[in-house]
Structure 1
Amino acid sequence: MRTLTAIVLLLLPGAAGAQAVQSGPWDVTSTAVSLDIPGAPAFLLRMMKGKSKSERKCVSPVQAVDGVAALLAPDPKAQCHVDSQQIAGGLYHQALTCPQKQGPPIRITRSGTYDAAGFTGRLDMGGQTPKGAMSIVLDQKAVHAAGTCRG
């Protein structure tokens, strides 16, 4: 379950292309819609449902040219592979495969809408854990934030 949680946390900020976005800091907020994780305590899953987590993502001027794709890029630490990605006409769809320490890879799909101001969409994650099939659904939204990037 720790590996699964790590993948979820690493994907939360990630998330996108020819329409450039503004460089600088972006806040990507993920809200848990549904969680079905075998072996996780039911009270914990109930507590997590509806909760949001925001992550700050820094987009460089070079990355900003890639548009929303820069915001959808998965965190390299998750070691996810982008299987397919379509970004056009204000809509995006992305399919990823992310490794687990035990078991087959986790499959993730993201889809939604975007413009120069950010994106709004849904992330569906599914896979097999040692304790059974799991499913997680998150709503995600990215907006440009005030301030500057550190480091």
Structure 2
Amino acid sequence: MRISVLKGLSLALCLLPALAGAQAIQPGLWEISSSAMQVDGQALPDMQQMLEQLKNLPPEQRQMMEQMMAKQGVQLGDQGVRICMSEAQIEAQDIPLQDPKSGCSHEITERSAELWKFRFSCPDGQGEGETRFLSDKEFTTQVQGTYGGQSGSMNSHARWIAADCGGLQPR
């Protein structure tokens, strides 16, 4: 069970290519939850299930996982993972939610005030998706692609938490 949790969390973080920021979204702390994650047609646990399983890890394993995520600018939240988006990133419309060292690139293929369509390419995968901006404090993203030779898809929901990111640094 732990392997599927880690694999699901890794897939979720890798398939969050560039949920690029619209000009109108708020800088600060954002929480992203994912759902409907599938790999090769098999459903993975949703984010809430993964978070519950992570809470049940032995303390030293959980701490190791949290430290690994913190190095990537991500922390566990109540309903998903949290990231910090700086005002400079939002103004530049450059919101890289994947690990900057991942070698992934993205291209916006269609852009309007409410919808951005994109495609992405990583050393181990590629795909496409779309982000819908519901307000300056909420957006949803749907992604499908291949990663590590496996096809996958997921939906995510991002919501603004606070202007202050606390100790979490922007990616």
Same fold (TM over 0.5): yes
Mapped partners of 1:3, 1:21: distance in 2: 30
The offset of 1:86, in angstroms, is: 3.1
> Which of 98, 103, 118 matches 2:138?
118
The offset of 1:138, in angstroms, is: 0.4
Deviations 1:12-44 (A, max 9, x none): 48522652321110011122342217xxxxxxx
Residue identity matched to 1:52: M
Mapped partners of 1:3, 1:99: distance in 2: 18
Higher strand proportion, which one? 1
**Judging changes above 3 Å, is the alpha-carbon distance between structure 1 residues 138 and 79 closer, same or farther for their aligned structure 2 residues?**
same
The offset of 1:90, in angstroms, is: 0.4
Q: Is the 8 A contact 2:25 2:137 kept in 1?
A: yes
Partner of residue 90, structure 1? 114
Residue identity matched to 1:88: S
| Percent of matched pairs sharing the same residue | 25
Deviations 1:78-113 (A, max 9, x none): 21011444331301111000112xxxxx11212131
Structure 1 length-normalised TM: 0.67
Partner of residue 60, structure 1? 86
Unmatched segments (≥5 aa) in structure 2: 1-5, 49-79
How many residues are aligned here? Answer: 131
Unmatched segments (≥5 aa) in structure 1: 38-44, 101-105
Partner of 1:62: helix, strand, or coil?
Answer: helix
Greater CA drift, 87-96 or 2-11: 2-11
**Judging changes above 3 Å, is the alpha-carbon distance between structure 1 residues 128 and 70 closer, same or farther for their aligned structure 2 residues?**
closer
Residue identity matched to 1:65: E
